[in-house]
Amino acid sequence: MMARLRPSLIAAVAVFLVALVTGTLVSGADAVGGFQTASSYDDDIERAKDRQDTYEEQLDDLEAALEDTSEAIVKAARRLRQTEAKLPAAQAELDAAREAVAQALVQQKLVADKLAAAEAQDAAITEQIAADESRIDELEDIIAALARAQYQGVGDDEALSLVFGASTSQEFVDKFAEEHNASRVQTNALADVEEIAAVNRNRGARQEAVREYIVELKAEADALVVKTKRLREKAAEKKAALDALVKKQQAIKAELEAQKQQELKRQRQIAAKQEAVRDEIKNLVKKKLAEEEAKRKAAEEAARKAAEEAAKNNGGSGSSSGSSGSSSGSSSGLVKGALGWPAPSHYITSSYGMRFHPILHYWRLHAGTDMRAYCGTPIYAAREGRVQWATYRLGLGNSVLIDHGYFGGKSLMSSYNHLSSFAVGSGQYVTKGQLVGYAGNTGTSAACHLHFEVYVNGNTVDPMTLVG
pLDDT digits 0-9 by tens, 40-61:
556 665 665 565 555 555 555 5
User: Do residue 229 and residue 352 come from a single domain?
Assistant: no
324 found inside a domain: no
**Distance between CA 207 and CA 214 in Å, rounded?**
10
- Write down the pLDDT at residue 195: 86
- Write down the pLDDT at residue 431: 97
Residue partners of 240: CB distance under 8 A and separation at least 6: none
177 found inside a domain: yes
Last residue in a domain, options 230, 257, 284: 257
pLDDT surpasses 80 at 326: no
- Write down the pLDDT at residue 27: 36
pLDDT surpasses 80 at 270: no
304 found inside a domain: no
User: Do residue 212 and residue 348 come from a single domain?
Assistant: no
User: Do residue 250 and residue 338 come from a single domain?
Assistant: no
Residue partners of 302: CB distance under 8 A and separation at least 6: none
Segment 407-411 mean pLDDT: 86
Q: Residue 365 is part of which domain span?
A: 329-465
pLDDT surpasses 80 at 28: no
pLDDT band at 197 (very low <50, low <70, confident <90, very high): confident
Please tell me the total count of domains within the chain.
2
- Write down the pLDDT at residue 373: 95
pLDDT surpasses 50 at 98: yes
Q: What is the pTM of this model?
A: 0.50
Last residue in a domain, options 236, 257, 278: 257
User: Do residue 249 and residue 356 come from a single domain?
Assistant: no
130 found inside a domain: yes
User: Do residue 9 and residue 143 come from a single domain?
Assistant: yes
Segment 430-442 mean pLDDT: 97
User: Do residue 223 and residue 343 come from a single domain?
Assistant: no
- Write down the pLDDT at residue 269: 79
- Write down the pLDDT at residue 44: 60
Residue partners of 71: CB distance under 8 A and separation at least 6: 446
Closest by alpha carbon to 347, among 270, 225, 434, 449?
449
Segment 218-227 mean pLDDT: 91
List 339's β-bridge partners, or say none.
467
pLDDT band at 315 (very low <50, low <70, confident <90, very high): low
- Write down the pLDDT at residue 71: 73
- Write down the pLDDT at residue 320: 45
- Write down the pLDDT at residue 215: 93
Summary mean pLDDT of the chain? 78
Task: State what percent of residues in the chain have pLDDT above 70.
Answer: 73
314 found inside a domain: no
**Distance between CA 448 and CA 427 in Å, rounded?**
27
Per-residue pLDDT tens over the stretch 158-170 = 555 545 554 444 5
165-169, 187-191, 269-273, 411-415, range with greatest mean pLDDT: 411-415
445 found inside a domain: yes
- Write down the pLDDT at residue 383: 97
User: Do residue 223 and residue 74 come from a single domain?
Assistant: yes
User: Do residue 30 and residue 156 come from a single domain?
Assistant: yes
Cα separations in angstroms, 115 against 13, 18, 204, 413: 14, 11, 19, 87
pLDDT surpasses 80 at 13: no
- Write down the pLDDT at residue 121: 92
pLDDT surpasses 90 at 382: yes
- Write down the pLDDT at residue 45: 57
Segment 239-263 mean pLDDT: 88
User: Do residue 253 and residue 345 come from a single domain?
Assistant: no
> Is the CB of residue 14 less than 8 Å from the CB of residue 121?
no
pLDDT band at 428 (very low <50, low <70, confident <90, very high): very high
pLDDT band at 435 (very low <50, low <70, confident <90, very high): very high
pLDDT surpasses 60 at 33: no
User: Do residue 250 and residue 333 come from a single domain?
Assistant: no
pLDDT band at 31 (very low <50, low <70, confident <90, very high): very low
Segment 248-253 mean pLDDT: 90
User: Do residue 249 and residue 371 come from a single domain?
Assistant: no
- Write down the pLDDT at residue 229: 92
Last residue in a domain, options 200, 225, 257: 257
- Write down the pLDDT at residue 180: 44
**Distance between CA 334 and CA 245 in Å, rounded?**
52
pLDDT surpasses 60 at 257: yes
pLDDT surpasses 80 at 32: no
Lowest-pLDDT range, 95-99, 247-251, 256-260, 317-321? 317-321
We report the CATH number of the domain holding residue 420 as 2.70.70.10
Task: Between 402 and 188, name the one with better pLDDT.
Answer: 402
308 found inside a domain: no
pLDDT surpasses 90 at 368: yes
298 found inside a domain: no
Sign of the torsion angle spanned by Cα atoms 96, 98, 102, 105: positive
User: Do residue 132 and residue 218 come from a single domain?
Assistant: yes
> Is the CB of residue 436 less than 8 Å from the CB of residue 402?
yes
pLDDT surpasses 80 at 319: no
Task: State what percent of residues in the chain have pLDDT above 90.
Answer: 39
**Distance between CA 330 and CA 327 in Å, rounded?**
9
Task: Between 287 and 10, name the one with better pLDDT.
Answer: 287
pLDDT surpasses 70 at 201: yes
Lowest-pLDDT range, 61-65, 67-71, 346-350? 61-65
